[in-house]
Every structure is written in C-alpha cells, then in structure tokens.
Structure 1
Amino acid sequence: MKPLTYSFQVPAHLHANTPAEYRSSKREAVKLFVLDRHSGSYHHDNFDHFSTYLNKGDVLILNNSRTLPAVLHTIDKIEIRLAKKRQDDTWEALIIGALPKNGKLIFPDNVNATMKKSDSKKPLVTLQFSVSGNSFYEFLYRHGSPIRYEYIHREWPIQAYQTVFSSVPGSIEMPSAGRALSWKMLAQLQKKGVKIVFVQLHTGLSYFENDQWPEPSNHSEAFSVSNEVVTLIKQAKTTGSKVIAVGTTVVRALESAVDAYGMLRPTTGETTLHIKADTMLNVVDGLLTGFHEPEASHLDMLSAFIETPYLLTAYHEAINQGYLWHEFGDINLILPLNK
C-alpha cells in the first residue's frame, strides 16, 4: 500500500458533499485553479471559462466509462463494494464488516454469492454470483447504489455520479474530472475548433478502508484507446497543438497505449501503469483533474506533469482559498500556459 508522502491535510469543511447542480443551478458552477506546469505559477478562475484555455486544433480527451451502482447489501445488511469484474459471474469485492463464516452471501431476489480463494496480500475477496451477464446487471441496478464515502452525508441518485457524456457502464467509481463539463460547454469547445474524442478506462476502487490505498502496479484497470484517438493526437502533435486529458484515468489509458518505442498505438487491454514524478509523458500535454488526498496515488501522476514543490505550493494555496475536494468538488487545470 502507498505510504503518505505529500505534506498537507484537507480540512473537513473542504470535503465536498453536495453536487454542484444541487448547490447552485448547474454542473459547471465550480471553481477552476489554473496551474502552469512549467513555472508553477497559478491563478484562480471559474470553470465555465475553461474553453478560454484551449485553442483551435487542441484535442480534449474524455473517458466515456459510466459509473456502476457498485454497492450491494446482503439480506443481513453486510455491505459489499464491487471492485473489479473478472468474469460474467465473478467479481473482486471489498466486504465491509465481518466475513461470513460459511463463505456464502445472500442477497435479495434469491441471488447469492460464494467466496472463492483470494489473494491474501490484498483486502479484496473474489465472489462468484449465482447470476451472470444481463441478469446480474438487472439485479445490480435494482439493488445497488453508488459508492459513497464518509464525507458524503446523504444519498444522491446514480445520475449524480455520471458525467453527461458517459456511455459504457463499467466504472466502480466515477471518472469525476469530467463531471463539471456540460453539453453547452462541450458545444462551445467544438465551435472553437477543439477536437473532442473519447477513450475508455473502467475505474476500480480508490480506497480499501482502514487507511489502505491501492497500489497502481497491483491494481489493474481495463482500458481502450481507438485508432481515431491515435490519429487525432498524432495530427495535434504535428501541428504543435495541445493534448489535454480530462482526468487521471485518461492519462493512464493513453500512456498505457504507448509502445516500447514511445509510439502511441490503438490498444485494448488492462493496465497496471503507475505514473510517477520520473515517468516520461509521451502523449499528454495538460490535465484537467480534481483535487486529491495526500495518500492518493493520483498525486504521483500529477508530479509527472509538474515538479512536486510547485504542486504542493499550489495545493496549499487551494486549501487557503477554500477549493473543494473529491468528486463533487472544484477543478484543477495543469497545462503549459505558453504553448
């Protein structure tokens, strides 16, 4: 598990617990912290001005993965958090509370799951369900709910955990960097000449409880990068335009599709890539992301975009200025401002 290596703490009042459209009238009503990845200089803005930072010919890449209602409860109230699909009827999962002694979990609708032999090195167990395929998903959408951590004080509908453009169900937690983007903003970007394309990465659990965080190299995630995306990125690189990833999931997908010669290729598979400060970024020039906790491996990735001292200075400033953290929070744009 990843040790705490980043020296800041997020005050309790900065843990966003309400979606922006419930706090105000629209998803894009969040703040934007703009950070120059080369100089470390920064300034404050509103997210609905995001399009002013992109130019004609730039490529904005989104993750089209859709969030699953990944929390289930047994009939005797044991909480199960799905973590990763292994087969049509088999999932890795996190069990909150005591494990059943007989290895059997009983759910509503006469659905059950049996615990199989698991890797003792991680807190996840493997569950084989009595239903599979479409029948499993029908069961999941009837009885499941989105993963909700302790800073979220009430239940929100599954739609609050989706981006407006998500289309392919598969993520355990929302790829949240794109949450504030509205159709209106996307249309404005397209009108400006920004190219908008999609990759796919289905996220796993970001937290295992009891101060346990997944290590990316042991935390595989399914991803896909299409030929269309590769072509547009190569065109942008040729003309000197920027490639902007919306979310760390997009960065992980794109950089995982780079071959041994540093060339981006259409790729579908699973990635265990851990992007850190010394990782060379072959594809992405800038990143739109949320604000991350000090224990999260996401900060390792951000340190590949900008020197860690600059990043930490920016995070302390964001705390001082009252930026909100997590999936319902504010947005950080890291990019080369002089490109």
Structure 2
Amino acid sequence: MKTSDFYYDLPQELIAQDPLEDRSASRLLHLDPLTGEIEHRIFKDVVQYLNPGDCLVVNDTRVIPARLYGTKEGTEAGIEILLLKRKPDDVWETLVKPGKKAKIGTKISFGDGILRGEVIDIVEEGNRLIRFTYDGIFEEILDRLGEMPLPPYITHKLQDKERYQTVYAKHEGSAAAPTAGLHFTEPLLEEIKKKGVHIAHVTLHVGLGTFRPVKVEDVTQHHMHSEYYVVEEEQAKLINDAKKRGNKVISVGTTSCRTLESAAGEDGMVRAQSGWTDIFIYPGYQFKVIDGLITNFHLPESTLLMLVSALAGKQHIMAAYEEAVRERYRFFSFGDAMLIL
C-alpha cells in the first residue's frame, strides 16, 4: 500500500481559514460505508442518524495556548516555541524555530522575563527539552503569553481562542484541537441526549505528530508519535453497555477513535486505563469498538485519511472526497464534517 494512493487534488480556496459563526451550521456529508452512497446535509442533522441507546464518544481534551514568542538572552534574536509534551519538573518537549539558535544552554525570555526557559537537551527530530522558571502558576502565565497553535495551513489570526476549543473541552494538554468536535453546540448535545443517546468522554492529548506528513512511500513503514490518553471506568461502562445492547458506538473524531481502539481488548470491550498510544490505523485494520465516525476532511496522504479509509474503504472515501471537492465543501480544521455510519 503506497502513500501516493491517498493523494487527491484540493484547490487552495477550499481550505477553511475561519470558523463559522454557528458551529453546527457546517455542512455534513453522510457516507454509507457499505454502499458508498452519499447524502449532503447540515451538521445539526447528525441527530437524525443516531438512535436511542447509541453511544457518542467525544474527546474532552483542551488545547493549551502552546505557541510562545521569545527572545534569546544575550542576542535578543527572536525565537518561536511550540510546547509539545509536558515532562516532570517544569520541563517540556518543544519544537523550536529557528532550531540553530537553540543549542543546549541557550536561555530564552518570554514576556519581558515573566517566563524564562533554558534548553537542556536535544531529542528526536531535533525537538528541544526546555526547563521553564517563573513565579506563579504556569497555566495562567501561558494563558497571558501563549497563542493557539493553529495548523500551518490556517493563515488567518484567530479572534476568539475559544473557537479552537470544543464546547466540552476540559483537560488541558493538547497542541491541536480534536476538530471533529468543534461542530457541536450545547443545544445540539442536549438534543442528542434527549433522544436517548449516551455521550461518553475520553481524553487524548493531541500531539503534532498526528499531522506530521508520511515521508515513506510504503505506508506500513510509517511510525506514529505517541500521545497520552485516559479512559475512566464510568465512561468505559457507557461504551461497553451500548455494545452489549447491540447499539452503535460512534466516535467523534479520529482521536476518540484511536483512544477507543487502543483501550479495547480483542473482545471489543473497552478497558478503563491510561497510557501512551502510537496506534496507526490504515486499510486492513479490523476495528474492535467503533461502528461509526464523525470526522472532518483530512489532508491528502495523511495518516488521518488512511484511518477513515480503513473504516469506509479507500474507494468509497476517495470518491466521497472527490464529491466534496466538486460540491465546494470546506476542508480541514475549521471546515465541514463527514459522518461515516
């Protein structure tokens, strides 16, 4: 299986630059994974595809304002830092631009010295480990100084930080939003619950590894970066009860999907657990838990496009993407949605 098998042509103007005013007014492409049949709807119509007893699984991670702009002490050269993974003792694994200015021992000042960092090591792919020093609470300082780490294909500045958070975002730790969840509003979630659909919460802190391009032509040789996830006992029970009743488990986003598939046993039951996952799902994978998926439209040749192709079949997915391009759907993080069910 080749990476180039997952290429499609996307006009630049279809990449959504701004979120819609009404989250649930996005368009929704419904794809039947068995027949490949397509319906065009509005996102709030998603409730019509859900049945009483089904379980919708959301990722309640919260994006941190992980992009920091600082200056190198001694030279005042500008340095941009992206926080990737929290380590013990105020150390973070970071992506630094430009890397050549960040040798071990380099000291960086942010916000006129409110926050200071020192490069203490260089790890895989040139990422830097930085130890931070500050007075007060790190999260509050980050909220003051940091910016939302929007993907590189979004060139517009985000006016409201909360628009890059889901309405149910709770546990801080992501470097990117689980974007399928951005379409939900509180009233829509209430309507879904009133229909008798259960909503289970899992947490996976999204790392930028999710978006790293696949650089090998043989898909099976690609290695995913690991991300931290948590599934709590009560939430695992909600999901497992739905499975036992014969109802459907629908994952909101590829991150919830990867969490469930990582936490499941061969019997299809989800275990309450936490840990790191580097699961890579591509065609040929046998899903243990999920029956359906709500997702955005993904980049050509990306691991996320491979994941949805594993669920609905590559032929159906590529045909649906061609249709979405023809119909002028909005693509990527702030774009429209697809329901595979």
TM-score greater than 0.5 by the shorter chain = yes
**1:37-65 CA deviation, whole Å, 9 max, x = no partner?**
11211111111111000000000111111
C-alpha deviation, 1:294, in angstroms: 1.0
Q: Does 2:8 correspond to 1:8? A: yes
Match of 2:82 in 1: 81
Instruction: Please give the residue correspondences for 1:9-24 in structure 2 after superposition, counting only pairs within 5 Å.
Output: 9-21=9-21
Match of 1:46 in 2: 42
- Supply the distance in 2 between the matched residues of 1:43 and 1:291 (Cα, whole angstroms): 15
Q: 1:74 to 1:175 in 2, by over 3 A?
A: same
Match of 1:256 in 2: 262
Match of 1:61 in 2: 57
Instruction: Tell me the amino acid that sits aligned with residue 72 of structure 1.
Output: L
**1:252-288 CA deviation, whole Å, 9 max, x = no partner?**
1111102366542111111111112122111110000
2:15–2:331 contact (8 Å) kept in structure 1? yes
Unaligned runs of 5+ in 2: 72-76
Q: 1:103 to 1:64 in 2, by over 3 A?
A: same
Instruction: Tell me the amino acid that sits aligned with residue 88 of structure 2.
Output: Q
Instruction: Tell me the amino acid that sits aligned with residue 265 of structure 2.
Output: D
- Supply the distance in 1 between the matched residues of 2:188 and 2:315 (Cα, whole angstroms): 32
Instruction: Please give the residue correspondences for 1:97-136 in structure 2 after superposition, counting only pairs within 5 Å.
Output: 97-100=98-101, 101=103, 103-110=106-113, 111-120=115-124, 122-131=125-134, 135-136=137-138
Match of 1:36 in 2: 32
- Supply the distance in 2 between the matched residues of 1:119 and 1:153 (Cα, whole angstroms): 31
2:58–2:251 contact (8 Å) kept in structure 1? yes
Instruction: Please give the residue correspondences for 1:144-293 in structure 2 after superposition, counting only pairs within 5 Å.
Output: 144-148=146-150, 149-205=152-208, 206-207=210-211, 217-259=223-265, 262-293=268-299
C-alpha deviation, 1:237, in angstroms: 1.6
Moved over 3 A (4+): 2-5, 206-212, 215-218, 259-263
Match of 1:139 in 2: 141
1:34–1:45 contact (8 Å) kept in structure 2? yes
- Give the CA RMSD over aligned residues: 2.3
2:228–2:277 contact (8 Å) kept in structure 1? yes
Instruction: Tell me the amino acid that sits aligned with residue 142 of structure 1.
Output: R
Instruction: Tell me the amino acid that sits aligned with residue 269 of structure 1.
Output: G
1:216–1:272 contact (8 Å) kept in structure 2? no
Q: 1:260 to 1:129 in 2, by over 3 A?
A: farther
Q: 1:265 to 1:82 in 2, by over 3 A?
A: same
Q: Number of residues paired by the alignment?
A: 326
2:202–2:232 contact (8 Å) kept in structure 1? yes
**1:298-333 CA deviation, whole Å, 9 max, x = no partner?**
112112211111111111111111111122110000
1:16–1:327 contact (8 Å) kept in structure 2? yes
1:5–1:294 contact (8 Å) kept in structure 2? no
1:292–1:326 contact (8 Å) kept in structure 2? yes
TM-score (norm 1): 0.90
Q: Identity, % of aligned pairs?
A: 36
Instruction: Tell me the amino acid that sits aligned with residue 279 of structure 1.
Output: Y
Instruction: Tell me the amino acid that sits aligned with residue 40 of structure 1.
Output: G
Q: Comparing 83-92 with 297-306, which one deviates more in the overlay?
A: 83-92
Instruction: Tell me the amino acid that sits aligned with residue 10 of structure 1.
Output: L
1:78–1:95 contact (8 Å) kept in structure 2? yes
Instruction: Tell me the amino acid that sits aligned with residue 119 of structure 2.
Output: M
- SS class of match (1:188): helix
